[in-house]
């Protein structure tokens, strides 16, 4: 069954390149990105894992833990890490789940038989500290993911969680935000002291509140 927004992310225990984990326990009070790869020793996956390793400080600033998954076994992952570090000028610094029996992949609906028979597609799940799924994305095996976009989404999700704002199309960190409809216009000044602009009664903009 497909995982939908607002669902509790399935918990699991698994062997990873950084030891055995219980997923929910490993996440703790952090946000999480859980993303899958079709196969070890493949070119697009290699670039993705290296990119994420080099973004580690950006994820840490946002209290985000990152974990990857491939259906290959642990010894394959460990050998592949050497290639990732060498070719992507990085040091792997987050765990890769070994899922050779495809138990976790099936749990997260990462295998799409009409796309890839027995390997995972490029699934992404952003999970909140409440263990609820906040975003799902699915890419084909041939298309590498845009991790700058995932950082942008995390910034947006955290603003919504903490400040009752949404973000407009193509929003970037530092730009004006949308006041959520649940807040009455007369209540905006007390909640958003930086001011606001009413474009339409349902479209009210305010400077990003956490800057």
- The reply to whether 45 belongs to the active site is yes
Choosing from 9, 45, 71, 111, the catalytic residue is: 45
Q: What's the burial of 184, exposed, middle or buried (CB within 10 Å: 0-12/13-18/19+)?
A: exposed
Q: Which backbone phi and psi does 155 adopt, to 5 degrees?
A: -55, -45
Residues identified as active-site = 45
């Amino acid at each position: 069954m497909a995982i939908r927004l607002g669902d509790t992310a399935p918990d699991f225990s698994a062997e990873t390149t950084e030891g055995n984990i219980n997923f929910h326990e490993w996440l703790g009070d952090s946000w999480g990105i859980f993303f899958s790869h079709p196969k070890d020793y493949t070119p697009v996956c290699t670039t993705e894992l290296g990119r994420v390793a080099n973004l580690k400080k950006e994820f840490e600033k946002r209290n985000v833990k990152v974990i990857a998954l491939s259906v290959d076994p642990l010894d394959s992952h460990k050998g592949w890490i050497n290639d990732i570090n060498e070719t992507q000028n990085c040091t792997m610094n987050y765990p890769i789940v070994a899922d050779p029996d495809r138990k976790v992949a099936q749990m997260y609906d990462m295998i799409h038989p009409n796309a890839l028979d027995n390997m995972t597609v490029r699934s992404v799940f952003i999970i909140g500290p409440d263990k609820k799924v906040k975003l799902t994305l699915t890419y084909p095996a041939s298309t590498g993911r845009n991790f700058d976009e995932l950082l942008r989404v995390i910034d947006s999700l955290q603003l919504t969680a903490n400040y009752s704002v949404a973000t407009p199309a193509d929003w970037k960190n530092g730009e004006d935000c949308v006041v959520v409809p649940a807040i009455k216009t007369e209540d905006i000044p007390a909640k958003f002291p930086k001011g606001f602009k009413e474009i339409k009664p349902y479209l009210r903009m305010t400077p990003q509140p956490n800057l």
